[in-house]
Structure 1
Amino acid sequence: MNCVSHQASGLWRHPRDRSADYRKLGYWTDLARLLEKGLFDGLFLADVLGVYDVYGGSPDAALRNAAQVPVNDPAMLISAMAAVTSDLGFGLTSTLSYEPPYPFARRMSTLDHLTDGRIGWNIVTGYLDSAARGTGLKRQASHDTRYDIADEYLHLVYRLWEESWSDTAVIRDKERGIFTEPDQVRRIIHEGEYFKLNAIHLSEPSLQRTPVLYQAGSSARGREFAARHAECVFVAGPSAAVVAESVTDIRARARAAGRPPEHPLIFSLLTIITGPDDEAAQAKWEDYRRYISLEGALTLLSGWTGIDFSRYSPDDPVRHIRNDAIHSAIDALTVQDPGRVWTVGELAQHAAIGGMGTTITGGPERIADLLEDWVVKTGVDGFNLAYAVAPETFTDVVDLIVPVLQRRGIYKREYRPGTLREKLFGRGDRLRTDHPGGRVHLPAVSHI
């Protein structure tokens, strides 16, 4: 995330942490080179609009702990990182609730051009009322209504990306002085419940046209949305049992929506603390724990769940509460894992490193065993790795874990050629024709 403290609350104070350099471009280009060295499929840039002001009813705790504030625009980083890499993909989080489809579609097409087809979009609807107030609204729309809006939004950007320009529209004919054939560009006209549009897409077709589509919502409505639209899904949970339940449900919904067996790819949020051996890894873990901020962790958790945890003592149990924040965040601690009752203090300790995901600790061989076991128990396709100390966490994974996984034959030794979609799925760079966006076509001849 383009900020100091993403999910490791308080770890910005660690003497080896460089996250305070997030304002410097070299921080990001160095990270991109490191991840490409480790053959990472992509760098997932999280983002949030608004400030975490649920805890204590004010942004004070978030500001004290740098809890995802200050936070800069993630899209600005991608061109620079793409310039120093050739294969690393980039997953950009952008909140559709506060930006019209028309300018957003152009931004993503621009990034797809500049990265040679290595861009993806993590579709989020937002979850903070502070974001709504910052954009002139009294409050955000209700949870399920946000997904209704997202469905219409996706329909519109699909039409802009896939339908507005034909593959043969841009001819670059210097002799005739024609760059684009006007009769190969179509005006998109839409009047829906939430959006109106009458325009042509501003960008010529990019390699992927539609970016690779990521989604991280794990509520019932979020999973329904992911089953229709997402090519990759991020899931999180405090245990393998919780993650496995999410995976099973998402795959069942995808099958019911007529999606192919390999769609969507599912990645589990995980934080790895490792060293040359188990003893060194444990020492590193204990060192990191000295710097955590429980207030910072509860500030993030309050924003994610909509529960003001400042009103509870550490020994109070976490109750299941339905509100308009992130439904899955509280579900994962209650209805999805009824065998355990979390206290507020236990939750803060758990989330202080790795947020709502799981943290594993050990030497390289033990970590490799745990990763393999996690895949077997949950059915995920891979991992969305968070960091504790930046960039040390990723350096450790690249230098210590990747070689072991490669020796075991369960991690690639080179990138596939092509766009991000081709690298992930081993086939064409465009959406499948059984995807709602892939079913959008430009008529043979149309007019502006």
Structure 2
Amino acid sequence: MAAPTTDPVLARSVRDVAYVPTARKRQLLDLFVADSPLPGAPLVLFVHGGGWKRFSKQEHAHIGRAWAKLGITTAVMSYRISGLEESTRLAITAVWSLAIGSLGFLADATGAAPGWLVASCIAVGAFSAITGLRLYRQCGEEPRIRWPAHREDVVSALKFLGSAAQAGGQFEGFYNPRNVFVCGHSAGAHMTLMTCFDVPLLAKAGIGLMSLPPVSPGVSPPPVPAESSRPAEGRTLKEVSSGAAAEDLHVDLVPESEWNLAVPAGCGAFAKPGLVIRGVIAMSPPAVSAMMSGFMIHRMYMRPAFGFDPAQWPQAFPDALLRTAVEEGRCPRPPLLLATADPGYDLGLEKHVDELMPILAAAKVPATRITITGSNHFTEMTRIGVPGTPAESIMTPALVAFVEEHGVKRHTPAEDKEES
């Protein structure tokens, strides 16, 4: 494992930090440290998308840089992916295409095959070979990865970030481990929701989750004490999202004295978790009902990541997790920000969020939904940090306001102990 390196763009950033003791090739994260952190020294863990089978932290470093400049220390992680089966299919396609192309050369010499067919076969073969090789290399040392391995890596990263910020830890003083937010895009948003709404999973890992009291839509919460109020010059999340097609279930601030540490029955109380999640941000998360239909979706996404038994797929998605939690009366209520791109340009994932909203309302989860007008599924994430783009003018301010609104306003060790 290569030693962590300092990022040349930001003096206080660290690359390629292993978040498990025996880290594989992809179990690494980069930390981008805010030079002038917001009050409470918040941390955001960003989980990238890619259909559970593509991409890594390298393609998302711009997010860490952009948010760190705004005062939010950001960890961008990679995780093990499920790309082996697709890379194998592409390799087979490449072999056949190149073989047909080679035979085509012989046929072309006798005029039995047109030149365009020969060129097409060779082009398809070369493209498939290159793409398959890239996917295989991205898989790392553990090629046959299936759910829930992806989520296990998210939990491991959170545990590491909690321990690394303690006294004597690698990241001591960089951020407040009791003021953490988890953000994901696409498949990363799926993993974010599946992690942060599974209280027993978090409890076993010693991770705290702040759960707000249930507040019905349209009902105002108790008044906020003056010492917990936002600065007068700050903007609330509702103000930020007012021009971005916001759909509020409940976004008003609840006094921190009424926040509860969500602990499942039988797990006991852990008064001093190593890390506390204060809020969840999900950008275009998929829902299982929309993923169950379509041969290509099954072949490209569901089978490689979730196995060959469709009966097991629903249990690996947030809508099923939330329904079960609501039925059992144990659904946590962390503050939640949902973001989607323009309808029709988000690969249909805005419809997935449409399906999640009634479930969240039934659970009385304090959720806010915004539309990043003028963006598509990719630019809502890739253009973060680019001035003048919808991602930077809508998504980034909404995230900053969300963190300020639901995070702690202090980060001294003594006050953290009092809050415990």
Q: Please indicate the TM-score interval, normalised by the length of the shorter structure.
A: 0.3 to 0.5
Normalised to the residue count of structure 2, the TM-score between the two structures is 0.35
**More contact order relative to length (CA 8 Å, sep ≥ 6):** 1
Normalised to the residue count of structure 1, the TM-score between the two structures is 0.34
